[in-house]
Structure 1
Amino acid sequence: MEYHILGRSPQRSNMIGKSLSHYKIISKLGSGGMGDVYLAQDINLDREVALKILPAEMAADPKRLQRFEREARAVAALNHPNIVTLHSVEEADGLRFLTMERVVGEDLEKKIVPGGMAFKSFMDLARPLTEALCAAHEKGITHRDLKPANIMITEDGRVKVLDFGLAKLQETPGELEATDVQTQGLTQEGTIMGTVPYMSPEQLQGRAVDHRSDIFSLGVIFYQLLTGKRPFVGEASVDIISAILRDTPRPVTEINVSLPNHLGRIVRRCLNKDTNDRYQTARDLLNDLKDLKEEVSKSEEQAINSVGVLPFANMSPDPEQEYFCEGIAEELINGLGRLKNLRVASRTSAFKFKGSDHDIREIGKYLNVDKVVEGSVRKAGNRVRITVQLINVQDGYRLWSERYDRKLEDIFAIQDEIAERIIQALEVTLSPKERRSIQNVATRDVEAYDFYLRGRKYFYEFDRRNWEMARQMFERAIKLDPSYALAYAAIADCWSFLFMYSGSSERERQLAGDASRKALELDPDLAEAHASRGMVLSLGEDHGEAAEHFEKAIHLNPKLYEAYYFYARASVAEGNSLKAARLFEQAIDARPDDYQAPLLLPQVYSRLQREEDAARSQREGIEKALRHIEMNPNDVRALYLCGGALAQSGEVERGLELVDRAVTIAPEEPGLLYNAACAYSILGRTDEALEHLERAVRAGYSHKAWLENDSDFDPIREHPRFEAILESII
C-alpha cells in the first residue's frame, strides 16, 4: 500500500490529470480531516510528492490560515529520517495545499500480529519511532494524533511518522481537538473513531495537551505491537473512552511471556493516566529503551533454554536428612543460575512443589520453563545414592537420567557431573569463565558442607530463632574449614538480619562486619561476600562504600537477587527513592516470584508520586505473597507484609487477620511488630500503630534510618509519641 490516510473529506476526483502550479496530479491516495491527498509529479524538481489540498473552510478563514501557515513552517523545519518531510505550503488556482515527501510502503497496522511480536522485532520499530518523537518534541512540536495509520514502514523497512503537528494545525483558535474528537466519538453508538483508542486521558477530558500525550499514545502502540491487541477496548467509543480513563491494562509480559520484565515496566509507565507519572520526555523513554537493549544479550533475544530444579526427595531412613536433599538441589540452582544462556527458576518457586504430585506439565507451566530436573537422595553412613533426571515439559520425555552410587566424600564430584550432564543435554555453550564458576567449589570438606546446608535450611525460615540456629551451623562449618568464604558471608547475613529484624545490639552489627571482611579476605571475587559486606556497611549508614560492594556483587553475578534487594533497601534508608525503585525492579527481574520486593516497592513509588505504579506493584506483591502463604502458612514475614498490603488496598479485615496471625505466631519479633505498626498507621488507627511500634522498639528494633524514611508512618509522623519513639532509638 502506498501513502495511506484514513478519514473522510469531500471528494475531488476531478483533480486527476490536472496541474496545480508546477505539480501534475497523477492519482488520489486518500482523504483525511485535513483534506484530500494526491500523488503528484513536481515538474521543476522531477520528483513525486504527496500533495494535500486543504479544506475550503480553512482556506477561507484568514486567522486560521495565518496560524496554520506559521505552524506549518515549524513542522517543515523538522529534518529527521523517521519523520515524513513537509516540503511546502502553497497556493494555486484558488486552492491551498501542502506538498510532502512521498512514502511507499505499508502502515504499521499491518505489522500487528496475534500474540504480539518478538522483542527484537519490536525494538527495530520502537527505537526509530521514539527517536522521531524526540526530534519533534525537542523542537516544541507535538503530534497529537499518533496511531498505527499515521506510521508507515517503507519497502526497505524504515519507519516514517506522518502528519507530525498537523492535528494541532486543524484546530480553530481556542478550540481543543480532544473535545471535538471526544464528542464525535460519543455521538454514534457502535462507531469507533480511528483516533479514540490511542488518545490520552487528558485529550479525552478536554484538558491541555503537551508532548506527554504523545508518550501515552506511543504506549498504546507499543502495547498493541507486543500483544497483538489494544490495551483499552470496548464495543462503542464511549466504552473505549471509559476504559482509557479508568482501567489498568493487563501487563504485556503476562500476555507475551517471552518479553523481558523491564519492557513491561516501560510500557506501563508510558500508559500512566497521570501525566506526571509518565516519562516526562521522549528522550527519557528512548534512554530506557537503549539501556534495555544493552541489558538483553543476544542469546536472550533468541529463545534460550530454561530449567527448573525441584527439591530432591529424601529416600534416607532419617527424615532429618531433608536439609541435605534440599541443599543438593539448591547448589544446582545456584550453579546453573550463573550461566548467561540459561534461565533457571528460583529456589522459592521450585521448592513450592516439594512433596507434591503435580503433573510435570503443570509444574513447567507454573515455573515458565521448558525442562525440569528432579531427583532423590539416599544418604546412609558414608555412602550416598543420588538419582536424577532431566524431563522435557512439553511431552514428559526423559532427556537424560543417571544414578550415582558413591562415597559421601565424592559429593562435590557428583554435583559437578550432574551440572555438566544437564548443560550438555540442554546444549548450552559455556564461556571459560562460566565453566570455572560451575567447577568452583566453596569447600572440599564434606562435613563442613553438611553443616552449611543445615544452616541454609534454617536461614530461609525468616525468624530470630532460625537465624540463630543457622549462624551456629555456619560457625561449625568454618571450624571444620576455616577457608570457607561462603560460610563466612552467610554468618554475616545472619548477624545483619538479627540486627535489622530482631533488635540485636551494636555488637551484632560489628560481628556481621567482621564476618563479611573475612569472607572477602578469603575470596575477593565472591559475589555473595560483596553483597553481605554492602548490607553491613549500609546498616552503619556508610552508603558510599556499601554501594561499591553492591555494584561489585552485581558485576560478578548479575543474577544475584540479594545484591539488588539489599542495595534497594540501603537506598531507601539513604533516602534515594529513584535509585531504590530501579533496584527493587531489578530484584523482581532476578527473582520474579518473590513477594518482598513488590510489596516494599509501592512506598518508594509513592515517594516518587508514581501512584499507578504503586497500586500495580502492590497488587502483584499481594498475589505472589498469597501463593507463598498457601505453601508456607506459618511464614510470619509473608503474613505481615501481605496483611499490611491487603489492609492498605481496602481489604482491611482480611489484611489485619493475617497480621494478627503473624503476631500470634511470633509475639516478640521486633520486625513483625514494626510491620504490624505500619499496617495500623496506613489505616489511620493511630493508637494501635504507636502501641505496636513501641512494642517493637522495646523488643529491640533499632533501624532508625529505615523508620525515618518509611512512608507508611507519614500519617503519624508528627505525633509526639512517634517523635519520642525516634528519639529513643540510639
Structure 2
Amino acid sequence: MPTELERLKVALSGRYTIERTIGSGGMATVYQAEDLKHHRKVAIKVLRAELAAEVGAERFLREIEIAAQLQHPHILPLYDSGHDGGFLYYVMPFVPAGSLRDLMDREVRLPIEVAVRIARAVALALDYAHRRDVVHRDIKPENILLSEDQPVIADFGIAKATSAAGDGEVALTEGGLAVGTPAYMSPEQATAERKLDGRTDLYGLACVLYESLVGEPPFAGVNVRSTMALHATQPAPSLRSKRPDVPMQIDQVIAKAMAKEPSDRYGTSLEFAEALAAPASGTAALRGLGDVGVQRAVAVLPFVNTSSDPDNEYFSDGITDELINALAKVDRLQVASRTSAFALKGSGRDVREIGAMLNVAVVLEGTVRKAGDQLRITAQLTNVADGRHLWSERYDRELRDVFQVQDEIARTIVATLRRTLVGDVGEPVPKRYTENLAAYNHYLRGRYHWNRRGVDGLGEAVKHFELAIEEDTGYALAHTGLADSYALQLDYRGIPVAAGMNRAKA
C-alpha cells in the first residue's frame, strides 16, 4: 500500500514536485516543493486526513479563497489551493529564513527593539486583515515567518477553515479541542466563545511579544487544558519581574493587550502598534490612559475574606459582585469587568500597575469579616496615578444591614469621584431583587459555585439557586442563575443535552 507522501506526489504530479518535509503539526504537514509551471520554490501545507474529513473541501476552500484576497507586505500571500487525491492543501512562498520561533530558539530573548519592531509590523498586518473582517485565530511564533528580515504572517484562513466545521462560530473540533495554540490562546478562545473578533489575535500577539522578550510564554500548564485554564483565569506574570530592562511603558502596553476581557484591551491592533511606538515618557504616554474616559473608570478588586471560616469566601466574592453591578449602572461611570478584576485576585500587584492593566483611574479594595449575624466591611478607594488614598471606611453592622452598606459604599465612591476627579457621573440607583436575607445568602453561594465551574461546582450552584427560589419564589436573579447553571452544565456534559436545554428554558 502506498504511503501518504507517495499518494500526495501522485496527486500533485504535473504541477508540483514534492522535495522534502519541512514540518508537521496537529493540523497539517508542510512540504517544500518545486512549482513546475513558474519554476520557483514553494511550501505546500496539507491538512491531516481526519481534520480534512471533518472540515470538508467546500468550506476549506471557501475560507482559503477569502484569505487569498489579503494583500499586505506583512502577510504571506497564497499562490494556490486545491482538493486533489483526497488531500486538502494550499500553496505559499517558501521562506528559507524560517520563522520567529526559529529565531527565538537561537537567541531565547530578543533585543527589545527587535521584538517590538516585529510585533508592530505584525499588528499593522492584523489591523489590515481585521478591517476586512478576517481574524487569524492562531497567532504564534511559528506562524510569523521572517522574509528578508521582515515578519510576514502565515496561515491566514486555516484556523477559520478548521473551525468552520462548527458553522464558523465555535472554534472547536469534534474532539472538543479549541482551534488555536494553547500558549497564545485568548481567554474567550480558550472557553470556546461563539463570537471572536480581532482582539483575540491581539491577545495572541501580546503573548508572542511577551515570550520574545522573556524567553518563555506567559502561561505554561502541565497539559493543554491546564494552559487554557490559566489564560482564562490567571493574570499574566509581570514582564519586568523577569526582565527588568524592559521599559515600564512596554510592560504596561503588553499587560493591557492581555486583559482577560476583550473590552479591556486595545480596541484595534493599530492602537496596540501605536502604543508600542509611543515615546517612553511614563504612563501618560500610553494611548488612552490620560483621557476623561479613564478618569471616570473604576476597578473593584475582589474583597478579601478575613473571617475565621474560609467557607465565607462566597460572601466576600458576592459583596464584590454586588458592588461591580451597582457601579456599572451609574451613568457615565466605567467599571472594569468582573473577569478582569477577579483575574487579579490574590495577585498582590501594586495599584498603579493594576490601573495600567485595567485602564482605570481608581481602584476599590476591601475586606469582609462575617461572624454569625455580625458583619464588618472595610473599603478603600485609591488613585492609581500616585497611590494616594481618596477615601476609606469601616462598617460594623448586623448581617441584615448588608444591602444598606452596599448602597452606602456605592454612593460614597460616586461622590468621591465627583469631588476629586470628574464631576459629571450619574447617581447610583439601588435596585433590590429580594429583601429575603436567606434567599440572598443562597444566591451568593450559588453564584460563587457557578463561577468555580466544573461538574461539582455547577451541581452546588443548582442546589443553592433552588434553595433561594424556595425562600423567595419571585427572586428573578435566582431563576436566572438556575438557567445559567443548567446551560453551562451542557459544556461539562453534566447532564444530557436535551434535558439541560429544557431545564434552562423552563
Quote the Cα distance in structure 1 between the aligned partners of 2:402 and 2:166: 45
1:143 to 136, 145, 149: 136
- Equivalent positions of 1:564-603 (< 5 A) are 576-578=292-294
**In the alignment, which of 41, 58, 61 is matched to residue 66 of structure 1?**
58
Aligned match of 2:238 in 251, 255, 269? Answer: 251
Quick check: 1:160 aligned with 2:152? yes
3-state SS of paired residue (1:36): strand
Q: Are the equivalent residues in 2 in contact too, given 1:111–1:225 (CA < 8 A)?
A: no
Deviation at 1:257, TM superposition (A): 1.5
Instruction: Report the alpha carbon displacement of residue 675 of structure 1 after superposing the two structures with TM.
Output: 2.0
Provide closer, same or farther for how the CA distance between residues 164 and 677 of structure 1 changes in structure 2, counting only shifts above 3 A: same
Query: Which residue in the other structure is 2:310 paired with?
Result: none
Seen in structure 2, the aligned counterparts of structure 1 residues 161 and 704 have a Cα distance that, compared at 3 Å, is closer
Q: TM-score with structure 2 length normalisation? A: 0.59
Q: Residue in 2 aligned with 1:241?
A: 228
Determine the structure 2 residue equivalent to 1:646: 366
Residue 289 (structure 2) pairs with residue 271 (structure 1): no
2:31 paired with 1:38: yes
CA distance in 1, matches of 2:108, 2:429: 45
Shift of 1:126: 0.8
Whether the 8 Å contact between 2:27 and 2:51 is mirrored in structure 1 is no
- Judged with a 3 Å threshold, the aligned counterparts in structure 2 of structure 1 residues 246 and 702 are, in CA distance, closer, same or farther, namely closer
Which position in structure 2 is the counterpart of 1:79?
71
Identify if the C-alpha distance between structure 1 residues 649 and 83 changes in structure 2 by more than 3 Å, giving closer, same or farther. farther
Aligned to 1:173: 165
Is contact 1:17-1:24 (8 Å) kept?
Answer: no
Partner residue of 2:42 out of 42, 49, 52: 49
- Aligned AA for 1:129? V
Q: Are the counterparts in 1 of residues 296 and 422 from structure 2 also a CA contact under 8 Å? A: no
Cα displacement (A) at 1:182: 7.9
> Cα deviations across residues 401-450 of structure 1 (Å, max 9, x unaligned)?
xxxxxxxxxxxxxxxxxxxxxxxxxxxxxxxxxxxxxxxxxxxxxxxxxx
Distance (Å, rounded) in 1 between the aligned partners of 2:117 and 2:423: 45
Alpha-carbon distance change, 271 to 657 in structure 1, aligned in 2, over 3 angstroms: closer
Q: Distance in 1 between matches of 2:340 and 2:218?
A: 16
Q: In 2 relative to 1, CA 606–268 (structure 1 residues): closer, same or farther, beyond 3 Å?
A: farther
Letter aligned with residue 43 of structure 1: L
* Cα distance in 1, alignment partners of residues 34 and 295 from structure 2: 55
Query: Matched residues in 2 for 1:653 and 1:37: separation?
Result: 63
Query: Hey, what's the Cα distance between the residues in 1 that align with 2:80 and 2:138?
Result: 21
CA deviations 1:533-574 (Å, max 9, x no partner) are: xxxxxxxxxxxxxxxxxxxxxxxxx78x9x99xxx99x7xxx
Question: Normalized against structure 1, the TM-score is what?
Answer: 0.42
Counterpart of 1:12 (choices 5, 8, 13) is 5
1:22 aligns with 2:15: yes
What displacement does 1:127 show?
Answer: 0.9
| Alpha-carbon contact 1:578-1:608 (below 8 Å) kept | no
> 2 CA distance for matches of 1:147 and 1:181?
23
Structure 1 residue 607 corresponds to structure 2 residue 334: yes
Structure with the bigger percentage of helix: 1
5+ residue gaps, structure 1, are 1-9, 186-192, 297-557, 583-601, 625-640, 660-670, 719-730
Partner of 2:211: 224
In structure 2, give the amino acid aligned to 1:282.
S
Identical residues among aligned pairs (%): 22
Task: Write out aligned runs for 1:255-654 (5 A).
Answer: 255-290=242-277, 292=278, 295-296=279-280, 576-578=292-294, 607=334, 609=336, 619-621=348-350, 645-647=365-367
For residues 32 and 249 of structure 2, the distance between their equivalents in structure 1, rounded to whole angstroms, comes to: 43
Structure 2 contact 162–173 (Cα < 8 Å) conserved: no
- Say which one has the larger Rg: 1
Deviations 1:334-376 (A, max 9, x none): xxxxxxxxxxxxxxxxxxxxxxxxxxxxxxxxxxxxxxxxxxx
CA 136–25 in structure 1, closer or farther in 2 if over 3 Å, else same:
same
Taking a change above 3 Å as real, the CA distance of residues 94 and 200 of structure 1, as seen in their structure-2 partners, is: closer
The one-letter amino acid paired with 1:240 is T
Instruction: Pick the aligned partner of 1:206 from 184, 192, 195.
Output: 192
Could you tell me how far 1:195 is from its partner in structure 2?
Answer: 1.5
Residue matched to 1:88: 80
Q: Distance in 2 between matches of 1:272 and 1:148?
A: 20
CA distance in 2, matches of 1:59, 1:676: 60
- Among 176, 183, 187, the alignment partner of 1:197 is 183
Match of 2:312 in 1: none
Counterpart position of 1:352: none
Q: Distance in 2 between matches of 1:16 and 1:226?
A: 41
SS of corresponding position for 2:227: helix
Secondary structure of the corresponding residue to residue 12 of structure 1: helix
Deviations 1:160-179 (CA, angstroms, capped at 9, x unpaired): 22111211112353256643
Identify, as 1 or 2, the structure richer in strand: 2
1:268-324 per-position Cα deviation (integer Å, ceiling 9, x unaligned): 12222222222232122222223x2xx03xxxxxxxxxxxxxxxxxxxxxxxxxxxx
Q: CA deviation at 1:709?
A: 5.3
Structure 1 residues 265 and 70, CA, compared in 2 at 3 Å: closer, same or farther? Answer: same
SS at match of 1:30: strand
Residues 173, 110 of structure 1: alpha-carbon distance in 2 compared, 3 angstrom cutoff: closer
Query: What is the deviation of 1:43?
Result: 2.3
Deviations 1:87-118 (A, max 9, x none): 12235566553221111123222343798444
C-alpha contact 2:376 2:394 (8 A) present in aligned 1: no
Q: C-alpha displacement at 1:715, in angstroms?
A: 7.0
CA deviation string 1:138-190 (max 9, x = no partner): 22111112212222223x321122111211112353256643398359xxxxx
Give the partner amino acid of 2:231: I
* Corresponding letter in the other structure for 1:259: V
CA 1:220–1:71 in 2, change beyond 3 Å: closer, same or farther? same
- CA-CA distance at 1:21 after TM superposition: 3.2
Which of 91, 101, 108 is equivalent to 1:99? 91
Greater RCO structure (CA 8 Å; 6+ sep) = 2
Q: 1:41, 1:47 → 2: CA distance?
A: 6
Shift of 1:12: 1.2
Work out the CA distance in 2 between the residues paired with 1:162 and 1:658: 49
Amino acid at match of 2:336: Q
User: Following the alignment from structure 1 to structure 2, what is the Cα–Cα distance between the partners of residues 242 and 77?
Assistant: 35
| Change over 3 Å in CA distance of 1:619–1:94 after alignment to 2 | closer
Q: CA deviation at 1:247?
A: 0.8
Structure 1 Cα separation of the partners of residues 375 and 239 of structure 2: 32
CA RMSD of aligned residues (A): 5.0
| 1:675 alignment partner in structure 2 | 391
